[in-house]
Amino acid sequence: MINYNRHNIDETDIKKVVKILRSNYLTQGPSVKVFEKKFSDYVKSKFSISFNSCTSALHSAVAILNLNKNDYVWTTPNSFVASSNCVLFNGNKLDFVDIDSNTGSMSLYELKKKLSKTPKNKLPKAIINVHFAGVANRQFEIWKLSKKYGFKIIEDACHALGGSYLGEKVGSCRWSDLCVFSFHAIKSITTGEGGMVTTNNTKFAKKLELIKSHGISRNIRNINNKGNYLVYDQKLLGYNFRLTEFQAALGINQLKKLNYFIDVRKKIATYYFQKLKKQKLEFLTIDKNVKSSFHLLVIRVSKKIKKKLIEAFLKKKIFVSYHYIPIYKHSFYKKIGFKNYKLKSMEKYQQECVSLPIHTKLKFKEIDKIIKVIKTLT
Ligand SMILES: *Cc1c(COP(=O)(O)O)cnc(C)c1O
């Protein structure tokens, strides 16, 4: 059996977690702060605020923009549902921009076209740019558009931790307002479940810190040198979206191995590229300004071949995947108004895409098996 993705946990990870389980703090202790600091050191952002998932991080990132009910947020349909659910959690209006089928990410051309055609009162107040498969998507150009049209940018970088754009690590927020990451088991690094928001905006960082912990701010007061006591006040309606101490300890240790993990993924991707370059199939293109984190290895084949490939893989117990079902096609989204919604490139891409296994525990012998199946059909 070959899985398309898998976590990588070693003995050092286990030791770090156990150490916290034997300590005084299981939550709200020092490890979370250390993890956030080290994360900022890695991506070169001013602030990192941890969350218990990327879904709660996205929820909060949209919430702190203080949008009105009728304000629009746009994103790509080729993503996990959390990328757009976060708009709905906050009661804002949602719309999608078609993708570039060469990258699987939001199309810059379609974005420009849609912006120029949209009446002023319906222009988006924020755009959620998903770096599909680990390839940072047109950050500089979208940043320039944000200045012209006045929208905020949230990067959904769940696939792209460890990647970079124009020499800057994804998460630096050089060309965005906020950037979110996931530490779900199959992402670049894991804390089981977990997430992070990075930003260089002090106001946003403070608000995120509040919203993830009930909206409560805490202060230590010292009364006439008679001792310290804690005062707290709920400033806004918040949640409990906190990461635990043992998850943070796992995150700190995983972060040390991030560059190694990306190297392994890159080697695997390069192997696929080499061995399959003569086949009748397409790989996604990687912009020359981008260093990919190789989260997904997508190939595109004709609709007919895709069906045959799926059957052949299943027979050999090779589990591939498909990224993604267009978000607007889920029955919930159909119910809330996307019933007859269709975006042309997204529809075509969906019929052709297959995500091949890629993860740090994958063996070259297993990749050869996968390649053999593909070669019989392309
Ligand atoms: C994994 C993922 C999410 C959700 O992250 P969780 O940590 O599982 O909540 C959101 N967006 C994208 C693109 C993802 O891949």
Residue 227 has pLDDT above 80, yes or no: no
Segment 117-142 mean pLDDT: 98
Q: Are 166 and 140 in contact (CB under 8 A)?
A: yes
Distance 82 CA to ligand 1 centre (A): 6
Residue 222 has pLDDT above 90, yes or no: no
Distance 58 CA to ligand 1 centre (A): 9
Q: How far is CA 282 from the centre of its chain?
A: 24
Structural tokens at position 208? 């995120």
Question: Best mutation site among 83, 135, 239, 241 for ligand 1, i.e. most ligand atoms within 8 A of its Cβ?
Answer: 83
Residue 129 has pLDDT above 90, yes or no: yes
Give the whole-number percent of the chain exceeding pLDDT 70.
99
Ligand 1 atom nearest 58 alpha carbon: 10
Q: What is the per-residue pLDDT for 233? A: 92
CA angle 181, 113, 94 (to 5 degrees): 45
Distance 241 CA to ligand 1 centre (A): 15
pLDDT grade for 218, boundaries at 50, 70 and 90: confident
Cα separation, 188 vs 169, whole angstroms: 14
Q: Are 292 and 286 in contact (CB under 8 A)?
A: yes
Q: How far is CA 231 from the centre of its chain?
A: 36
What pLDDT, in 10s, does the model give residues 55-89? 999 999 999 999 999 999 999 999 999 999 999 99
pLDDT grade for 221, boundaries at 50, 70 and 90: confident
Paired strand residues for 321: 355
Question: Best mutation site among 50, 56, 80 for ligand 1, i.e. most ligand atoms within 8 A of its Cβ?
Answer: 80
Ligand 1 atom nearest 159 alpha carbon: 15
| Short-list 172, 170, 177, 96, CA closest to 137 | 170
Cα separation, 125 vs 127, whole angstroms: 7
What is residue 233's three-state secondary structure? strand
Which residues, judged by CB distance below 6 Å to any ligand atom, belong to the binding site of ligand 1?
53-55, 79-80, 82-83, 130, 156, 158-159, 182, 184, 195
Q: What is the per-residue pLDDT for 90? A: 98
What pLDDT, in 10s, does the model give residues 249-272? 999 999 999 999 999 999 999 999
Q: What is the per-residue pLDDT for 105? A: 98
What pLDDT, in 10s, does the model give residues 295-307? 999 999 999 999 9
What pLDDT, in 10s, does the model give residues 321-340? 999 999 999 999 999 999 99
Structural tokens at position 353? 């895409």
Strand 178-182 to 152-156 pairing: parallel
Strand boundaries in 161-256, DSSP class E:
164-165, 168-169, 178-182, 195-199, 216-222, 228-234
pLDDT grade for 195, boundaries at 50, 70 and 90: very high
- Atom 10, ligand 1: residue with shortest CA distance: 82
- Atom 5, ligand 1: residue with shortest CA distance: 54
| Short-list 82, 183, 59, 187, CA closest to 133 | 187
Q: What is the per-residue pLDDT for 24? A: 95
